[in-house]
Amino acid sequence: MSTIYLYLKKHLFQRRFFYLILCTALVCPMLLLTGCQNATGSDTATGKKPISINSIKLNTAVQITIYDSQDKSLLDDCLALCDKYELVFSRTNEKSELYKLNHRKNTSDKDPNADGQTTPYPVSGTADTWHISEDLASLLSQGLSITRESDGAFDIAIAPLTSLWDFTAEDPKAPDDADIQKVLPLCSSDGVTIDGQDITLPSDDIQFDVGAIAKGYIADRIKDYLEEQGVKHATINLGGNIQTIGTKPDGSDYNIGIQKPFDETGEPITSVKIKDKSIVTTGIYQRYFEQDGTLYHHVLDPRTGMPCDTDLYSVSIITDSSLTADAMSTVCCLMGYQESMNVISQLDNVDAVFVTDDGNIKYSSNFQKKQPK
């Protein structure tokens, strides 16, 4: 049973109010690696320069930095993992496994052996069951657990709605209400079951969007890989989903900047120190547009089909798993400040930084015991 599931079941979904869903976990805390290097850029503890690579992967900026190895093939392997998971989880890449699963009604009449039975493919003798990869089954299972415990307020079957809004368009527009009402009944994963790597889909209209949790999952898998290779000091930044390995080589914490909402310069509004943990920030300011004097952001409510109403510009969650931080930052942003503060204060090993819609910075009670404001 996943850590996210336990957190949400115990502390979030027992409460009698509805939570909303964020289609994409937005984030852009900046990695401030100050205090770790000397004037020449070398690490003061090892005398060697960290190795680092920057690239555009997963439709975002990716940066991997390793402090205790000079093996640059490790960096290439991390980018290769991003490419691998892009071809599993992408909703829009026509070559991805999730895309093919979402568009299964266009391919269900094809011979499953035609391409060497690459996933997804229909399970023989069934009309609505598909065999999927271990990674996709794992991520969808965790997403479904959250969905079920939230009575559908958080639903990974929100793809018809996110496609309708399309905040990535060159000139995004708010869709007509009639179109929103048409797709809302499709945004439900009711009846979906997963048994091992077999997923049963009761309707051809069910389509998944795992944008709210996928980068967290990928960051955790990259951390697993680097640790298997003996790396003890590293940072993984997937568009602001930050996962860290250990500390800096000198034993000090990593300093992570949290972006100032709606500031185009990328200026941090504050920073936090972490070690061997992940920090993920969800905010309403990364993807939005204005139309007729109204600001529409990408944080959508699957019950109304509209951007949700929240008193938070952003919330940053610090905990061990990046997937857990990804999911919890989404839920907390949409719950609003006070309820999120109440929930986080009851959790062990979870800290939060809130930026409210009046521009103030607030810290969870657990966080305040360990971090200076």
DSSP 41-65: S-BTTTSSPPEEEEEEETTEEEEEE
Q: What is the pTM (predicted TM-score) of this model?
A: 0.85
Q: Which of 236, 245, 231 is nearest to 63 (CA)?
A: 236
Per the structure block, which two tokens stand in for 360? Answer: 């103030």
CA 57, CA 86: separation in Å to the nearest integer?
8
Residue 302's pLDDT is what? 83
Among 17-26, 55-64, 226-235, the minimum mean pLDDT is found in 17-26
137 vs 42, more confident: 137
Q: Which of 254, 21, 19, 332 is nearest to 155 (CA)?
A: 21
Dihedral (CA of 227, 240, 3, 352) sign: positive
Give yes or no for residue 282 having a pLDDT over 60.
yes
Pick the CATH number of 1-36+70-373 from 3.10.520.10, 3.65.10.10, 3.40.50.1370, 2.70.150.10: 3.10.520.10
CA 29, CA 272: separation in Å to the nearest integer?
10
- Overall average pLDDT of the 30-50 stretch: 53
Residue 40's pLDDT is what? 35
Residue 365: pLDDT band by 50, 70, 90 thresholds?
A: confident
- Overall average pLDDT of the 25-29 stretch: 38
308 vs 219, more confident: 219
Residue 304: pLDDT band by 50, 70, 90 thresholds?
A: confident
List all residues 6 or more positions away from 94 whose beta carbon is below 8 Å from its beta carbon.
none
List all residues 6 or more positions away from 100 whose beta carbon is below 8 Å from its beta carbon.
107, 120
- Overall average pLDDT of the 10-39 stretch: 37
Give yes or no for residue 46 having a pLDDT over 70.
no
Residue 22's pLDDT is what? 32
155 vs 58, more confident: 58
Residue 107's pLDDT is what? 61
237 vs 19, more confident: 237
Other C-beta atoms lying within 10 Å of the C-beta of residue 163: 16
Identify the residue whose tokens are 């959508």.
Answer: 300
- Overall average pLDDT of the 357-365 stretch: 94
Contact 308, 203 (CB under 8 A): no
174 vs 266, more confident: 174
Give yes or no for residue 146 having a pLDDT over 80.
no
Residue 250's pLDDT is what? 96
Dihedral (CA of 176, 178, 179, 185) sign: positive
Give yes or no for residue 267 having a pLDDT over 80.
yes
Distance spanning both ends of the chain, measured CA to CA? 35
Other C-beta atoms lying within 10 Å of the C-beta of residue 103: 13
Contact 350, 369 (CB under 8 A): no
Give yes or no for residue 242 having a pLDDT over 90.
yes
